Amino acid sequence: MVVLWALALALAAGLAAANPPNIVLIFADDLGYGDLGSYGHPSSTTPYLDQLAKGGLRFTDFYVPVSLCTPSRAALLTGRLPVRMGLYPGVLEPGSRGGLPLEEVTLAEVLAARGYLTGMAGKWHLGVGPEGAFLPPHQGFHRFLGIPYSHDQGPCQNTTCFPPTTPCDGICDQGRVPVPLLANLSVEAQPPWLPGLEAHYVAFARHLMADAQRQGHPFFLYYASHHTHYPQFSGQSFARRSGRGPFGDSLMELDAAVGALITALGDLGLLGETLVIFTADNGPETMRMSHGGCSGLLRCGKGTTFEGGVREPAVAFWPGHITPGVTHELASSLDLLPTLAALAGAPLPNVTLDGVDLSPLLLGTGKSPRQTLFFYPAYPDEIRGVFAVRSGKYKAHFFTQGSAHSDTTADPACHAASPLTAHEPPLLFDLSQDPGENYNLLGCAAQVTPEALQAVKQLELLKAQFDAAMTFSPSQMARGEDPALQVCCRPGCSPWPSCCHCPEPQP
């Protein structure tokens, strides 16, 4: 299967697209920088993703601005830092009154205006709201099949994660409705049969591709898989097959889904006309230990501004247009909206964007225009501003704070017990030599070089200028929660919330 798939990629490399490309944006969940075989993991079973990396442009320095689900997804879809739209602190809950403001312009809206058929499969996590006001059908997506938030944001103690009867690990969030699967704005199942969910999403994606081709439109597929977020799950073909436990089985199913999407494109003759981008929302949740993923040689993980939290695996694949290789240029999920708009010939929204156009880098006509990256913590405030700044090869941490998501690692700086700490002077690292952030260049005065002093002065200036120019929008999370906003397949039922139970039939 993998060999045939590789042959299809080689044939597609000779094709050219005269029209705006189809776009498949695959977004993994809680996937670490070191989790894929192409990024160095010795035992991950990821042949399709590894082949994608071999046939595409693999990024070594690709980032997200916040290492948490909701803000990272908002940045991806708008090209704007989450504080600009009020998506802080933390994440949205099933009953949150807030969400991604409707005045924000999403990538789906940009592409829909250009004539794209737009669809989303998977995890949304940008709000539900009254009557589903914040859901994808109101944010530029013509079609949606997915769960409106993380699949652990509801009880899972009686839920099967691996067939035939292996229950999910843990109990997840209690006192809430079972997690719903939505088809556009309607409840399709509550809860869904998790072992069949990824296959359901792949079928949805195939239909979107085929319908767009039949209608003569380009398509945009945002495929936001739940893999590899806790609690891990998979179908029968992957359960206990990876050799890496539940996390590996989940990752193996994600890999196979990527292979299925590429195969579907090949079957439709669309490989040479489709740009595929793969990345993830934030680093691994190491508090889950072997169930939580791996950041490789990078420090810490989810919830922190260390490299393991914000640096992500990323691949751009477009046969005949993107030359296979590896790039060390700086890039961010913020850059995808302006990049994809440029490739689609779509105008940019009339708002302040924090992303830049990477199309010259992708097409081999130039370098990345990005020189600087700013990182906010999961719980930001205007007084402290950004916690860390990277410019070129140097990164400075002005504040650090551990996170429960990064507990259990050997490094105590990652843990929730590590308090919010101001650093004066900041911690300074040369990421070209020390991607693991082990050696603070300002830690020993006798060894501080003039180059390091110059670098820290520049980073301090960049932070001061950036913070002074940034205005936080009012927090959407601060609007609070209303239990009545939780999606229920049986509105008004009792006893609530357990009565919201319309399970998907099991095969």
Whether pTM exceeds 0.85: yes
Q: For residue 12, what pLDDT band results from cuts at 50, 70 and 90?
A: very low
pLDDT at position 109 is: 98
Residue 125 falls in the annotated catalytic set: yes
Share above pLDDT 90 across residues of the chain, in percent, rounded to a whole number: 89
| Three-state DSSP state, 430 | strand
Mean pLDDT of 457-480: 98
pLDDT at position 154 is: 94
- By the 8 A CB rule, do 135 and 120 touch? no
Place of tokens 């409707």: 102
Per-residue pLDDT tens digits for 306-325:
999 999 999 999 999 999 99
Lowest mean pLDDT among 78-87, 110-119, 234-243: 234-243
Mean pLDDT of 432-451: 90
Mean pLDDT of 196-216: 97
pLDDT at position 287 is: 87
Place of tokens 């940034």: 470
Backbone region of residue 320 per phi and psi (left: phi > 0; alpha: psi in -120 to 50; beta: other values): left
Per-residue pLDDT tens digits for 410-438:
899 999 999 999 999 999 999 999 999 99
**Per the omega criterion (within 30 degrees of 0), is the bond before 304 cis?**
no
Which of 69, 156, 168, 488 is the catalytic position?
A: 69
Cα–Cα distance, 220 to 209 (Å, whole number): 9
- By the 8 A CB rule, do 141 and 464 touch? no
**DSSP assignment string, 50-92:** HHHHHHSEEEEEEE-SSSSHHHHHHHHHHSS-GGGGT--SS--
H/E/C letters for each residue in 209-267? HHHHHHHCCCEEEEEECCCCCCCCCCCCCCCCCCCCHHHHHHHHHHHHHHHHHHHHHHH
Maximum alpha-carbon separation in the chain: 70
Q: Is the pLDDT at 6 greater than 80, yes or no?
A: no
| Three-state DSSP state, 187 | strand
Per-residue pLDDT tens digits for 355-368:
999 999 999 999 99
Q: For residue 158, what pLDDT band results from cuts at 50, 70 and 90?
A: confident
Which of 41, 125, 142, 229 is the catalytic position?
A: 125
Mean pLDDT of 407-411: 90
Which value, to the nearest 10 degrees, does the dihedral of the CA atoms of residues 176, 152, 302, 339 take? -100
Quote the Cα angle for 186-142-359, to 5°: 140
Q: Is the dihedral of CA 144, 64, 325, 342 positive or negative?
A: positive
With a CB cutoff of 8 Å and minimum separation 6, the contacts of 253 are 198, 227, 234, 235, 237, 238
